[in-house]
Amino acid sequence: MTIRKKKWLPLFLLLALLMSLSACHPVEIGNAAVAAGLGLEWENQEYTVSVQLAKPVDPSQPLPADQLPFEIVSARGATITEAARKSNLVLPRFPLWAQTNVFVMGENMCRHDAALFADFFSRNRNTRKSAIIAIAIGATPEEIMQAEAPLEPYSYPAIAKMLKIQEKQLGIYVPLTLGDFLFKLRTPGIDPLVPQVTLEKDEKGSFIKLDGAAVFKSHKMVGSLNERESRGYRWQTPGIIQGGIMDISSPFKGEKGLITLELTRSQAAIKPLLKDNKIIMEISLKAEGNYYGQDFSGEVLKLGMIKKIEETANKEIQHEIQLCIDKAQKLGSDIFGWGRMIEAAYPDLWQKINEDWPDLFSRVDTDIRVEFNIRRSYLTDSSFVFR
Residue 93 pLDDT grade (very low, low, confident, very high; cuts 50, 70, 90): confident
Residue 327 has pLDDT above 60, yes or no: yes
Distance in angstroms (rounded) separating the CA atoms of residues 267 and 234: 10
Phi/psi of residue 357, nearest 5 degrees: -60, -40
Least confident residue range of 12-16, 193-197, 370-374: 12-16
Percentage of the chain modeled with pLDDT above 70? 84
Number of neighbours of residue 217 by Cβ within 10 angstroms: 18
Residue 225 has pLDDT above 90, yes or no: yes
Using DSSP's 3-state secondary structure scheme, residue 148 falls into strand
Least confident residue range of 30-39, 57-66, 89-98, 127-136: 57-66
Amino acid symbol at 360: L
Distance in angstroms (rounded) separating the CA atoms of residues 214 and 162: 17
Distance in angstroms (rounded) separating the CA atoms of residues 49 and 65: 28
Distance in angstroms (rounded) separating the CA atoms of residues 315 and 303: 19
Task: Burial-class residue 97 by CB neighbours within 10 Å (0-12, 13-18, 19+).
Answer: middle
Question: What is the distance between the terminal CA atoms of the chain, rounded to a whole angstrom?
Answer: 103
Residue 11 pLDDT grade (very low, low, confident, very high; cuts 50, 70, 90): low
pLDDT digits (tens, 9 = 90+) for 262-297: 999 999 999 999 988 899 999 999 999 998 887 776
Which is more confidently placed, 105 or 382?
105
Judge contact between 49 and 83, C-beta under 8 A: yes
Distance in angstroms (rounded) separating the CA atoms of residues 9 and 353: 55
pLDDT at residue 266, as a whole number? 95
Residue 13 pLDDT grade (very low, low, confident, very high; cuts 50, 70, 90): very low
pLDDT at residue 356, as a whole number? 93
pTM of the model as a whole? 0.86
Distance in angstroms (rounded) separating the CA atoms of residues 112 and 116: 8
Compute the chain's Rg from CA coordinates. Answer: 26
DSSP E strand stretches across 2-69: 32-43, 46-54
CA 195 to chain centre: 5
Listing DSSP states for 73-115 in one string gives EEEEESSHHHHHHHGGGT-SSEEEGGG--EEEEEHHHHHH-TH
Percentage of the chain modeled with pLDDT above 90? 56
CA 217 to chain centre: 16
| H-run or E-run covering 370 | strand 365-376
Q: How far is CA 328 from CA 238, 254, 356, in A?
A: 17, 37, 16
Distance in angstroms (rounded) separating the CA atoms of residues 375 and 289: 6
